Homo-oligomer: A and B are copies of this chain.
Amino acid sequence: MNRSASIKDVANHASVAVGTVSNVLNYPDRVSQRTKERVLRAIDELGFVRNDAARQLRAGQSRTIGLIVLDVGNPFFTSVVRAAEDAAALLGSAVLLGDSGHNASRESNYIDLFQEQRVQGLLISPVGDVTDRLDLLRERGVPTVLVDRLADESKYSSVSVDDDAGGYLAARHLLDTGRRRLAFVGGPTSIRQVADRLQGAQRAVKEEPDATLEVLDSDGQTVLAGRSVGNMLVERGDLPDGIFCANDLLALGVMQSLTMTHTLRIPEDIALIGYDDIDFAVSAVVPLSSIRQPTEALGRTAIELLAEEVESENPRHRAVVFTPELVVRQSTGPAERSTAG
């Protein structure tokens, strides 16, 4: 019982031709009831399982889609992956997941692997500048959709989120709840996402003549980085009344350092808003307001765009940009009357 049963074995066991077995599997209507039953019984008795390699070889293409993300541990991508898997399942395709871990060579390995597997197409959240690799793929006829990155529409389709709009939303919300002396806490603005969010925030602040926005650089995008920014603020004294952090982890860190003083209150003295709406946001000491990215829509749309590219011959690419959503929680509740008034 070493080699598993093939369609030929089934055919012999049921005393029919191999073509008939294939028809039972793929076009049951073409086969008479009697033989169908016989074949199905044989399949059952032999424990036959289709050999996907043989199917693919014949078909010339697999029923899988490659998806390469920057970090499976990141809830943002986890959510995108799940949505993509569900959407692909509806089309009868499975998703092969690769985690590049921000590493260009791992990314390259996965591209090779997926190409050898003859995936229908590729969804990728690229590490760096892989345009050369991707151009090659395009020549070879492997449709590609960029995820979480805006692409040159003449070359690729893409799905991304409007970070400028997200930044605007966050700052506008702080302004709308009466704050005027705002601060932006973000990692290095060399990160595109951070720069865009800041730009959006600045746009909102310009709308209010009496509002200001101070930019505070953080050393990374972690809770600890946020905490040291918060500590710095507490020590120096001159505090903003609204803080927008480029990511929830930073915001949680800032929250920790501010509340640890036991004299500052959130949101009465300082309002705080983050970005990403991670699971922890809701269970922070003070539930954190945040900007939620439509991850499900991203994943689903990426698959849909890919399906379009697979089907049509003439490649009309589309760059779909989603708008993030404001999630209001306690950390940006109304300011203290005495202070605000």
**A contacts, CB < 8 Å to B:** 1-4, 47, 49-54, 56-57, 60, 62, 72-73, 75, 78-79, 81-82, 85, 94, 96-97, 99, 101, 112-113, 115-118, 136, 139-141, 222-224, 227, 249, 252-253, 256, 259-260, 262, 280, 283, 285
Question: Across the interface, do B283 and A115 meet the contact criterion of CB distance under 8 Å?
Answer: no
Question: Across the interface, do A118 and B53 meet the contact criterion of CB distance under 8 Å?
Answer: yes
Copies of chain A in the complex: 2
A54 / chain B contacts, CB cutoff of 8 Å: 53, 57
Please list 21 pairs of residues, one from A and one from B, whose beta carbons are closer than 8 Å in the complex, sorted by A's number.
A3-B60, A4-B141, A49-B116, A52-B117, A53-B53, A53-B57, A53-B62, A53-B117, A53-B118, A72-B82, A73-B75, A73-B79, A81-B99, A82-B101, A97-B97, A222-B283, A224-B283, A249-B283, A252-B283, A262-B262, A280-B280
Question: Across the interface, do B56 and A53 meet the contact criterion of CB distance under 8 Å?
Answer: yes
Interchain CB contact (< 8 A) of A82 among B47, B99, B141: B99
Interchain CB contact (< 8 A) of A141 among B2, B99, B139, B285: B2
Interchain CB contact (< 8 A) of A47 among B97, B139, B223: B139
Question: Across the interface, do B253 and A283 meet the contact criterion of CB distance under 8 Å?
Answer: yes
A1 / chain B contacts, CB cutoff of 8 Å: 139-141
Q: A50-B116, A113-B94, A115-B49 are in contact. Are A283 and B227 (CB under 8 A)?
A: yes
Question: Across the interface, do B62 and A73 meet the contact criterion of CB distance under 8 Å?
Answer: no
- Cα–Cα distance between A107 and B116 once the two chains are bound (Å): 26
- Cα–Cα distance between A249 and B278 once the two chains are bound (Å): 14
A85 / chain B contacts, CB cutoff of 8 Å: 99
- Cα–Cα distance between A185 and B185 once the two chains are bound (Å): 36
- Cα–Cα distance between A256 and B287 once the two chains are bound (Å): 12
Question: Across the interface, do A51 and B94 meet the contact criterion of CB distance under 8 Å?
Answer: no
A62 / chain B contacts, CB cutoff of 8 Å: 53
Question: Across the interface, do A136 and B47 meet the contact criterion of CB distance under 8 Å?
Answer: yes
- Cα–Cα distance between A48 and B259 once the two chains are bound (Å): 61
A216 → chain B, closest Cβ, in Å?
Answer: 19
A96 / chain B contacts, CB cutoff of 8 Å: 96
